[in-house]
Amino acid sequence: AQSVTQLDSHVSVSEGTPVLLRCNYSSSYSPSLFWYVQHPNKGLQLLLKYTSAATLVKGINGFEAEFKKSETSFHLTKPSAHMSDAAEYFCVVGLYGGSQGNLIFGKGTKLSVKP
Amino acid sequence: GAVVSQHPSRVICKSGTSVKIECRSLDFQATTMFWYRQFPKQSLMLMATSNEGSKATYEQGVEKDKFLINHASLTLSTLTVTSAHPEDSSFYICSARDGTGQETQYFGPGTRLLVL
């Protein structure tokens, strides 16, 4: 069965410092993995996705994530945080499910950025 | 990228009334749409999956007679919360997937429902 664990419910960084949001997954198949960002009272925006191509995935707004099969991890990083990065981040596993293709969401990590 | 809209963005209604939420894919044809519910400070929970022209598939614990889903066209799905009660107050988010075989879902901006 597929599952996803976000190891930190809240991460706080200073503006200009690196960001690391951790995610571990469990999947019976070679998974599809996503990171989505949600700003307050907004819908979700896709940051990046891994679909068995390059293990280092570059996304929007300077974010990237590395798929490590040996560690079953898909951590999200950014070299330098910006105030506008403050939001909720969800790590998501995509299910292979024929016509459904459901997503399993992690519980989310709230990123705070201090000036 | 693909754009999904929802209408209304916010709705307040009295207990016992029904509320309809629309989800539209603006620049692609969505063969499958999904409806999620998000409680405050929690993650998204899938309510149902709808494929164009067929009945929706509901997740366990979701009352299909209370949350009516219609996916009448390739660009529109509607969620109707019937006889709404205060416990139905939540943030409802739809997503859409095109028919290319890709698993990426594109999310709408969400609808905040408050039932008084």
As a whole number of angstroms, the distance between CA B97 and CA B83 comes to: 29
Shortest distance between the Cα of B11 and any Cα of chain A, in A, equals: 13
Taking an 8 Å cut-off on Cβ atoms, the answer to whether A32 and B46 are in contact is no
Q: Does B24 touch chain A (CB under 8 A)?
A: no
Give contacts of B 59-88 with A, CB under 8 A: none
Task: Give the position of tokens 């690196």.
Answer: A18
Confidence class of residue A97 from pLDDT cuts 50, 70 and 90?
very low
Radius of gyration, CA atoms only, chain A: 14
Structure tokens, A97: 């499910």
pLDDT (tens digit per residue) in A46-93: 899 887 778 899 999 999 999 998 999 999 999 999 999 999 999 998
Q: What is the pLDDT of residues B61-103, one digit of tens each?
A: 999 999 999 988 889 999 999 999 999 999 999 999 876 766 6
Q: Which residue out of B46, B105, B106, B111 would a mutagenesis test of the A interface target, given it has the greatest number of A Cβ atoms within 10 Å?
A: B105
pLDDT recorded at residue B1: 66
Contact B93 A49 (CB under 8 A): no
Instruction: For residue range A84-96, list pLDDT tens digits in order.
Output: 999 999 999 887 6
**Paired tokens of B105:** 């879902």
The model's confidence at residue B51, banded by pLDDT at 50, 70 and 90, is: confident
A60 contacts in B (CB within 8 Å)? Answer: none
- Please answer whether residues A67 and A40 qualify as being in contact, where contact means their C-beta atoms are separated by less than 8 angstroms: no
pLDDT tens, position by position, A26-38: 877 777 889 999 9
Greater confidence (A88 vs B31) lies with A88
CA of A98: which chain B residue's CA is closest? B101
CB of B44 within 8 Å of any CB in chain A? yes
Higher-scoring residue by pLDDT: B24, B1: B24
Q: What is the mean pLDDT of chain B?
A: 90
Interface A-B, measured as beta-carbon pairs within 8 A, has a size of 54
Chain B residue numbers touching A105 (CB-CB < 8 A): 43-44
Percent of chain B surpassing pLDDT 90: 65
How buried is residue B10: exposed, middle or buried, by Cβ count under 10 Å (0-12/13-18/19+)? Answer: exposed
Average pLDDT over residues B1-16: 92
- Contact assessment for residue B44 and residue A90, using Cβ atoms and an 8 Å cutoff: yes
User: What is the per-residue pLDDT for B112?
Assistant: 94
Using H for helix, E for strand and C for coil, what is the string for chain B?
Answer: CCCEEEECCEEEECCCCCEEEEEEECCCCEEEEEEEEECCCCCEEEEEEEECCCCCEECCCCCCCCEEEEEEECCEEEEEECCCCHHHCEEEEEEEEECCCCCCCEECCCEEEEEC
Q: Which of A105, A107, A109 to mutate to test the interface with B (most CBs of B within 10 A)?
A: A105
Question: Higher model confidence: residue B29 or residue B113?
Answer: B113
- At residue B60's C-alpha, the angle toward residues A72 and A49, to 5°, is 30
Kindly report the backbone phi and psi dihedral angles of residue A59, in degrees, each rounded to the nearest multiple of 5, phi listed first: -120, -160
The radius of gyration computed from the CA coordinates of chain B, to the nearest angstrom, equals 13
- The Cα B103–Cα A100 span in angstroms is 9
CB under 8 Å to B39, separation ≥6 — which residues? Answer: B45, B90, B91
Highest averaged pLDDT of the listed ranges A96-110, B4-18, B46-60: B4-18
Amino acid letter for position B99 = G
